[in-house]
Amino acid sequence: MLSLQIAEAYLAGTDNSIFFALVLVVFIGALLLARNLHEPKAASLEALLTGIMIESPQRLWLRVWLGD
């Protein structure tokens, strides 16, 4: 009986294991394909982060919330 319960527990977890294994395969494939992309007009990461920090709507809401 114990071996049957162990087998049932293993098979119950198999669905999730298969799903996450497939997600991992797709993620790795997308990562490998994304490495080959070349965007000549793309902004640098520093420019992107600066734009997010300076022009973010959260900053406006924070000023309104704090009353500055």
| Long-range pairs for 1-9: beta carbons < 8 A, 24 or more residues apart | none
Q: Which pLDDT score is estimated for 39?
A: 82
HSE-CB at 30 with a 13 A cutoff on CA atoms is 6
User: Of residues 49 and 6, which shows the higher confidence score?
Assistant: 49
Q: Which residue has 């997308």 as its token pair?
A: 30
How many residues make up the chain in this entry? 68
Q: Which pLDDT score is estimated for 32?
A: 92
**Integer Cα distance of 23 and 27 in angstroms:** 6
Does 3 have pLDDT greater than 80? no
Q: Which pLDDT score is estimated for 24?
A: 94
Over residues 11-60, the pLDDT tens digits come to 666 667 788 889 999 999 999 998 888 888 877 888 877 777 777 777 67
In single-letter form, the type of residue at position 33 comes to: L
Task: Locate the domains of the chain by residue range.
Answer: 2-66
**Integer Cα distance of 37 and 8 in angstroms:** 45
Q: Model-level pTM greater than 0.75?
A: no
